[in-house]
Every structure is written in structure tokens, then in C-alpha cells.
Amino acid sequence: MNDGRDQADRFIPLTDPRPDDAPWPKAVWPPEPSTFLRHAAVTVRPAKPGDALGLFTALDHDACWEHVKGRPESEDDVLQTIIDASRQGRWMWIIERDGAIVGTSSYLEVSPVDARLEIGFTLYAPAAWGTDVNPVCKLLLMRWAFDHGFGRVQLKTDIRNERSQQAIARLGASYEGVLRRYQRRQDGSARDTVVFSVTAEEWPAVEAGLVARLI
């Protein structure tokens, strides 16, 4: 019995859903350092060194780091993360509600030539869980991306993080599959990663759904 051959025989090749695509232009990158995104009481702005203490304090909870590697041990660790972010291909944002830092998110895996990026490394203080903070943050970050020529925004999460998977699905993102043994967790175990995305064609409906949800 040849399981590999049997599996190949059962596989049905996929077809191009956009066979008549026109050339897509290069996206605008990077955001201006003065970029300031806002909806109601939630603001999203580029991280700066002076945010280190506020961000460390907001995320200094075991629950915040259950599914994410890299928990900082001090304000200095957060400061170094902010300083190193752009050199590591990461555009780091600070999320505030009513003027207080409640979390962070980042643009990752950015390819302006291919007009795609990922929104990831999103962490919130537990007090912000289940509030309007996450849908507002994602609305603002996706809106900036699509308004500046990106055609795909990707989101990923730990297969064990059911709360995050449900939150991403509620945004209107499309489930794409699972990357098996994709990366390590904080405890060193191998993590399977669930992938979602929103494309430029889907964005108008996703945006309208998010705005309606936040009214």
C-alpha cells in the first residue's frame, strides 16, 4: 500500500479563481511615522521608545503570553523590542483606549512588491479582551493596508488559541488552513498555526461588517 501515491491520486488540482487579473501595482510602504489611526476611544499609532514602560505594564500577565513566544522580563526588554522591530522587518503599533496603552500589534511579513502583509504579534491587556479594542484595531490596520495598495492581509494564530481563532473569524477573515509544526511557543513546544486572510476583493464587505458591528 502506497499512502503517498493514494493521497496524490485523490488530490484534485486547484484552479485560478481570478484568471483575468490585471497587473496589481506595488503597495505604498512604509507608513509615515506620524500616522495616527482612530475610531471612537481607540487609537493606533507607531510604537516609540517612550512607550516601553506602559506596554510592559499592560502586558505583564501570564495569560497574555500563553500562546506567544518572547515574554519580556523588564521595561528594558520592551524598549529593545521597539528599537529592533524595524530592523527585523516588523512595523510595531501601540494600541490605546481612552489614552491608556492596552496592547500592541504589528505589520509583519511585508512585501510591497507582492502587495501583501500580515497583521500579527497582537497582544492585549486582559481587561481589553472581549471589548471593542480588537475589532477596532483590526479595522484600522486593515483599512490602512487596503487604502495604500495592499491586496492581501494575512492573520495567523496558535491552533490551541480557540479564543483568537473565533475572534479572527468574527472579523470576516477567510480560513485558509493549518501550517503544521510551524513555530515554537514560549514553552518550546512545536505550534501548529491557523491561517486566515482578507483580500482586496473581500475588503469592502469585511469593512462594512466591522463598521456595523462597532456602531
In this predicted structure, what is the pLDDT of residue 6? 76
Residue 186, CA distances (Å) to 18, 66, 159, 193 in order:
39, 7, 14, 14
Residue 15: DSSP 8-state = -
Q: Where are the alpha helices (DSSP H) in 115-172?
A: 133-147, 162-171
CATH architecture of 29-214: 3-Layer(aba) Sandwich (3.40)
Dist CA 75 CA 53 (whole Å): 5
Q: Write out pLDDT tens, residues 181-192.
A: 999 888 889 999
Nine-digit cell at 46? 507607531
Long-range contacts (CB closer than 8 Å, 24 or more residues apart) made by 101-105:
101/51, 101/54, 101/55, 101/57, 101/58, 102/58, 102/127, 102/128, 102/133, 103/55, 103/58, 103/59, 103/128, 103/133, 103/137, 104/47, 104/55, 104/59, 105/44, 105/137, 105/141
What mean pLDDT is predicted for residues 42-55? Answer: 98
Band (158; pLDDT cuts 50, 70, 90): very high
pLDDT greater than 70 at residue 85? yes
pLDDT greater than 90 at residue 74? yes
Band (2; pLDDT cuts 50, 70, 90): low
pLDDT greater than 90 at residue 145? yes
Q: Are residues 110 and 150 in contact, defined by beta-carbon separation less than 8 angstroms?
A: no
Domain boundaries, the chain: 29-214
In this predicted structure, what is the pLDDT of residue 187? 87
Q: For 44-62, b where at least 16 C-beta lie within 10 A, e where not — what string?
A: bbbbeeebbebbbebbbee
Q: Write out pLDDT tens, residues 11-43.
A: 899 999 999 999 999 999 999 999 999 999 999
Task: Please give the mean pLDDT across all residues of the chain.
Answer: 95
Q: Which amino acid is at 155?
A: L
pLDDT greater than 60 at residue 103? yes
pLDDT greater than 80 at residue 7? no
In this predicted structure, what is the pLDDT of residue 1? 52
What mean pLDDT is predicted for residues 35-62? Answer: 97
Report CA torsion sign: 179, 197, 43, 132: negative
Residue 148, CA distances (Å) to 26, 66, 141, 194 in order:
9, 33, 11, 26
In this predicted structure, what is the pLDDT of residue 69? 87
Band (93; pLDDT cuts 50, 70, 90): very high
In this predicted structure, what is the pLDDT of residue 66? 87
In this predicted structure, what is the pLDDT of residue 9? 81
